[in-house]
Amino acid sequence: MSAFIVETLIKILILVLVFSFLGGFATYIERKILAFFQRRLGPSYVGPWGLFQVIADGIKLFSKEDILPQNANKIIFTIAPVIAMMSAFVSMAPIPFFGNFMIFGYEIRPIISDINIGLLFFLAMGSVGIYAPLLAGLSSSSKYSLIGAARAAIQLLSFEVVSTLTILAPLMIVGSLSLVEINNYQSGGILNWLVFKQPLAFLLFLIASYAELNRTPFDLLEHEAEIVAGYATEYSGLKWGMFFLAEYAHLFAFCFVISLIFFGGFNPLWIIPGGIAIILKVCFFVFLSMWARATFPHVRPDQLMYMCWKIMMPLALLNILITSIAILL
């Protein structure tokens, strides 16, 4: 029992450290990709190819003055970014990042907790993250932050409904909420990938995921073209950075989940080992989110809600109906 506890604590520590680094490094990668699409250099002065820009940004965040608004609720104001980080990292608990492997005769399972409702736990813990922008806006004593929090609540709640309904159709086929079982269902080869059986579910879930993650063109939570930063208007320094580090960590988590559900997960791909295969898939979906940011213009709030409730929601329900009829027949 003690060995299990120690192993679990080590896994948690590795997960937090690795995805914190990836979250910071993803900012560099995104700036480079956007620069490529927009025919400019991006980070290039600090270190070779601008690689040390990540370290410079980290030093800036840690050393920048932490400002608390005079009339803000200081406790809630401080807790809000912590909730964002916790939501992102706790949601990773049921994700099997790779297949099992051996080290010195000891089997390592690269998953913190293989629960039979893993996917439901992931979606539930991700939805808890809505309290971060909501509490941030409410506690800031700023009308700009309050308006940003209201937009965040509307957007996140709307697309959580769509993503949850969308994922029901693949679950009806697999018959399990465990991400390990969903991965094992697709172990027969590339033709067993659920993306070929549920292409509409994949497309809807991908769009809803990017909307939940506040990715462009759906970044209404803190619109980069606005003078203010939505719910994060009154934040500075490390607290501000925690919101966006959580956003990038959640992006990697969603890319892992999309790869596990629709693209065969960590099953071997031809001659490519399973561990390398899932990393390539995750990298592709991370790149795809950055490609979308560089390509598509921002949408208005009314356009976003129209797409959610009048296009994506009916399509998700129709997909559930067609899938249920196909299973019965």
267 falls within a domain: yes
Residue 148 CB neighbours (<10 A): 27
Residue 33 in any domain: the answer is no
The residues that bridge with 102 in the sheet, in sequence order, are 107
Residue 14 lies in a domain: no
Tell me what pLDDT residue 122 has.
92
Q: Is residue 84 part of a domain?
A: yes
pLDDT tens per residue across span 166-197: 999 999 999 888 998 999 898 878 888 999 99
Q: Is residue 272 in some structural domain?
A: yes
Give the C-alpha separation, 277 to 264, whole Å.
9
Q: Is residue 40 part of a domain?
A: no
3-state per-residue secondary structure call for the chain: CHHHHHHHHHHHHHHHHHHHHHHHHHHHHHHHHHHHHCCCCCCCCCCHHHCCHHHHHHHHHHHCCCCCCCCCCHHHHHHHHHHHHHHHHHCCCCCCCCCCEEECCEEECCCCCCCCCHHHHHHHHHHHCCHHHHHHHHHCCCHHHHHHHHHHHHHHHHHHHHHHHHCHHHHHHHCCCCHHHHHHHCCCCHHHCHHHHCHHHHHHHHHHHHHHCCCCCCCCCCCCCCCCCHHHCCCCHHHHHHHHHHHHHHHHHHHHHHHHHHCCCCCCECCECHHHHHHHHHHHHHHHHHHHHHHCCCCCHHHHHHHHHHHHHHHHHHHHHHHHHHHHC
List CB contacts of 270: < 8 A, sequence separation 6 or more. Answer: none
- Residue 106 class from Cβ within 10 Å (0-12 exposed, 13-18 middle, 19+ buried)? exposed
111 Cβ neighbours under 8 A, 6+ residues apart: 11, 93, 94, 95, 96, 97, 180
The position carrying tokens 């003690």 is 2
> Rounded to whole angstroms, what are the CA distances from 286 to 33, 49, 119, 289?
11, 21, 20, 5
Q: Are 91 and 78 spatial neighbours (Cβ–Cβ below 8 Å)?
A: no
What would the pLDDT profile of 209-234 be if each residue is shown by its tens digit?
988 888 878 777 666 666 777 888 88
Domain count, the chain: 1
- Whether the Cβ atoms of residue 81 and residue 88 lie closer than 8 Å to each other: no
- Domain annotation covers residue 122: yes
Residue 189 lies in domain: 67-94+113-328
Considering the domain boundaries, does residue 51 fall inside one? no
| pLDDT for 285 | 94
Euclidean distance between CA atoms 264 and 275, whole angstroms: 11
Residues of the chain whose pLDDT is less than 50?
Answer: none
> Which pLDDT score is estimated for 111?
86
